[in-house]
């Protein structure tokens, strides 16, 4: 792995600082905007570092196709898509194995906080479009999706924010960026609720030892608060 | 006949409160910490902890977990009579029994009317829901045609969201001419105002007849339709701000100066 690295990325950590100047347990700068799509019931635009995501909520509305309708609760439909221009190489539009998987895990991450039983027979459609990808797209999409759902007035137990923790050059680091994700060893996206810090998504790509895993969870729990604050601030500012 | 009757009644509660205030100023100060206050509208977001106490009831827009009450919506925090609730700032209308709605008859079956009122599934107005006695086999278009607007009450909503309407109510009626505007339904309480202050003020100043459906459809008829529409849209836009009634009142006064006061007409339908 290390041998394929370009010279620029030979060392990802220099003097306990990462290449973009962050410390190991620092998040990338966050910017969230609410209500960017007037035609949607709820929407949010988020920038975490160079990752940019647009989230839109339509609904609750009629469920289609009808055979998937649930008599007792609403159905959350999540569509995650990387736009063709989001990476250096063109992404083929349309569903793929990867985008289907991420749509599914994102749905599970958000479904658990929504009071779906308040809207029987209906559907809530959440669209997550990755405008620019620079690692951590699913985590960023979940953070944006939660804000868009809150903006749409959908009852939720709490907000959800997500970030990734990974291993680069043998050290644990929070919120990996593009090169760190590409040339690092491990990447573990985690989504948490704002009230109790319950985990609603946890995936892992790569290896962690048991100790490293516990430590990684601890890092996320301690450092995820700025994301919730950014979400709250964006929503509060919108209503001011 | 205006259909939303607003009886400005003098609050007995307030009078009692005023009396008690003099006796127990200390107690007032203590409760003020929890009180959201009249002027400052506190905006809460989903997952915000509202209070940690079992002496309060979790009202609309909130949920209880253990001894804490959390918000489940983004909205304005209200605390009245030990019931904590959140008035939402956005969201879709969820039909409730005994709500009044404005809807459009969308099609007619042999025994009932289907009414579209902006909810994903249509409501049903059965033959029995009409004050007149209808004999079997009579053409139902005699009563309500396709495209007719009605101001109706919801008689029942089942768990599976089968909605039944009724016209057997004093307020319920068919709406002739006029126009309908749409606002988001969480803003409807603001348009009506406390005990109807806002809507009666708009009615009086513009001289329009206005019917407000809980689903966010508002029917307006009168010479100053455009001005009334503007005022209602303003209420919707600034719904989270305090002192809104005065603001709208000033706005209407300013606009009416340009046009002149509305002609007073007799009660009309």
CB contact under 8 A, A150 and B186: no
DSSP structural state of residue A29: P
Winning range, highest mean pLDDT, from B13-22, B170-179, B256-265: B170-179
pLDDT computed for residue A91 by the predictor? 95
Q: Is the pLDDT of residue B22 over 60?
A: no
A17-26, B26-35, B189-198, B211-220: segment of lowest average pLDDT: B26-35
CATH topology of domain A2-239: Ribosomal Protein S5; domain 2 (3.30.230)
Q: How far is CA B215 from the centre of its chain?
A: 8
pLDDT computed for residue A5 by the predictor? 85
Q: Taking CB atoms and an 8 Å cutoff, what residues of chain A touch B90?
A: 41-42, 151-153
pLDDT computed for residue B36 by the predictor? 43
Distance CA(B245)–CA(B77), nearest Å, equals: 19
Task: Report residue B137's pLDDT band, with 50, 70 and 90 as the boundaries.
Answer: confident
CB contact under 8 A, B47 and A195: yes
pLDDT computed for residue B242 by the predictor? 81
User: Angle, to 10 degrees, between the axis of helix B12-23 and the axis of helix B25-32?
Assistant: 110
Q: What is the mean pLDDT of each run of 10 residues along chain A (240 residues)?
A: 76 91 94 95 96 96 92 95 96 95 97 94 96 95 97 96 95 94 94 95 94 95 95 92
Distance CA(A1)–CA(A80), nearest Å, equals: 29
Nearest chain A residue to B239, by CA: A239
A217-221, B98-102, B151-155, B252-256: segment of lowest average pLDDT: B252-256
B18-32, B159-173, B221-235, B252-266: segment of lowest average pLDDT: B18-32
Distance from the B254 Cα atom to the nearest Cα atom in chain A, whole angstroms: 26
pLDDT computed for residue B40 by the predictor? 63
Mutate to test the interface with A, among B40, B41, B42, B47 (most CBs of A within 10 A): B47
For B65-102, give one letter per residue: b (16+ CB within 10 A) or e. eeeebbbbbbbbbbbeeeebbbbbbbbbbbbeeebbbb
As a residue count, chain A comes to 240
Nearest chain A residue to B93, by CA: A60
Q: Taking CB atoms and an 8 Å cutoff, what residues of chain A touch B77?
A: none
Nearest to A61 among B47, B63, B120 (CB): B120
**Residue A217 to residues A106, A138, A164, Cα–Cα distance (Å):** 19, 18, 10
Nearest to B160 among A121, A159, A236 (CB): A121
Count contacts between A and B (CB, < 8 Å). Answer: 75
Which residues 6+ apart lie within 8 Å of A2 measured at CB? A183
| Element (DSSP H or E) covering residue A127 | strand A122-132
User: Cβ(B79)–Cβ(B70) under 8 Å?
Assistant: no
ipTM exceeding 0.85, yes/no: yes
Angle (nearest 5°) at CA A112 between A111 and A118? 70
Average pLDDT over residues B106-122: 92
More confident: B33 or A145: A145
pLDDT computed for residue A128 by the predictor? 97
Q: What residue ranges define each of the domains in chain B, with the CATH number in brackets?
A: 41-89 (2.40.50.100), 100-175 (2.40.50.140), 179-259 (3.30.1370.10)
Residue in A197, A42, A52 with CA at minimum distance from that of residue A113: A197
Mutate to test the interface with B, among A64, A158, A229 (most CBs of B within 10 A): A158
Q: Is the pLDDT of residue B37 over 50?
A: no
Task: Report residue B267's pLDDT band, with 50, 70 and 90 as the boundaries.
Answer: low
User: Cβ(B88)–Cβ(B73) under 8 Å?
Assistant: yes
Average pLDDT over residues B190-210: 92
């Amino acid at each position: 792995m290390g041998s394929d690295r370009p010279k620029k990325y030979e060392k990802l950590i220099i003097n306990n600082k990462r290449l973009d100047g962050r410390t190991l347990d620092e998040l990338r700068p966050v910017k969230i905007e609410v209500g960017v799509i007037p035609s949607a019931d709820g929407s949010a635009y988020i920038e975490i570092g160079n990752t940019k995501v647009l989230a839109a909520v339509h609904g609750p509305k009629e469920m289609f196709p009808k055979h998937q309708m649930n008599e007792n609760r609403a159905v959350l439909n999540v569509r995650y898509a990387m736009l063709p221009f989001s990476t250096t190489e063109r992404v083929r539009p349309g569903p793929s194995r990867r985008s289907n998987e991420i749509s599914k895990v994102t749905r599970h991450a958000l479904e658990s906080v929504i009071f779906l039983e308040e809207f029987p027979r209906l559907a809530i459609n959440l669209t997550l479009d990755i405008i620019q990808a620079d690692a951590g797209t699913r985590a960023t999409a979940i953070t944006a999706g939660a804000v868009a759902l809150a903006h749409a007035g959908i009852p939720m137990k709490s907000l959800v924010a997500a970030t990734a923790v990974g291993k680069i050059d043998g050290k644990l680091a929070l919120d990996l960026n593009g090169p760190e994700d590409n040339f690092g060893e491990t990447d573990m996206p985690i989504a948490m609720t704002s009230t109790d810090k319950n985990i609603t998504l946890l995936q892992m790509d790569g290896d962690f030892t048991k100790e490293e895993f516990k430590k990684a969870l601890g890092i996320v729990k301690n450092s995820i608060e700025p994301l919730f604050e950014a979400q709250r601030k964006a929503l509060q500012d919108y209503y001011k | 006949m205006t259909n939303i009757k607003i009886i400005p009644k003098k609050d007995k509660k307030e009078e009692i409160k005023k009396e008690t205030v003099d006796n127990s100023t200390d107690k007032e100060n203590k409760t003020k910490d929890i009180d959201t206050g009249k002027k400052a509208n506190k905006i809460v977001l989903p997952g915000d902890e509202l209070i940690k106490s079992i002496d309060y009831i979790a009202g609309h827009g909130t949920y209880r977990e253990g001894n804490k009450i959390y918000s489940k919506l983004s909205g304005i925090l209200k605390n009245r009579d030990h019931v904590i609730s959140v008035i939402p700032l956005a969201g879709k209308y969820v039909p409730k029994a005994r709500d009044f709605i404005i809807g459009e008859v969308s099609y007619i079956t042999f025994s009932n009317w289907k009414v579209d009122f902006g909810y994903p599934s249509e409501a049903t107005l059965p033959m029995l829901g009409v004050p007149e006695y209808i004999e079997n086999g009579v053409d139902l278009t005699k009563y309500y045609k396709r495209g007719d607007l009605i101001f109706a009450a919801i008689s029942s909503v089942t768990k599976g969201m089968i909605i039944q309407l009724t016209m057997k109510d004093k307020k319920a009626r068919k709406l002739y001419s006029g126009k309908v505007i749409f606002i988001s339904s969480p803003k409807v309480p603001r348009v009506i105002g406390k005990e109807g202050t806002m809507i009666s003020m708009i009615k009086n100043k513009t001289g329009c007849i206005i019917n407000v459906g809980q689903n966010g459809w508002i029917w307006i008829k009168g010479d100053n339709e455009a001005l009334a529409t503007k005022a209602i849209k303003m209420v919707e836009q600034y719904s989270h701000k305090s002192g809104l009634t005065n603001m709208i009142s000033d706005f209407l006064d300013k606009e009416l100066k340009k046009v002149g006061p509305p002609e007073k007409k007799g009660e009309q339908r």
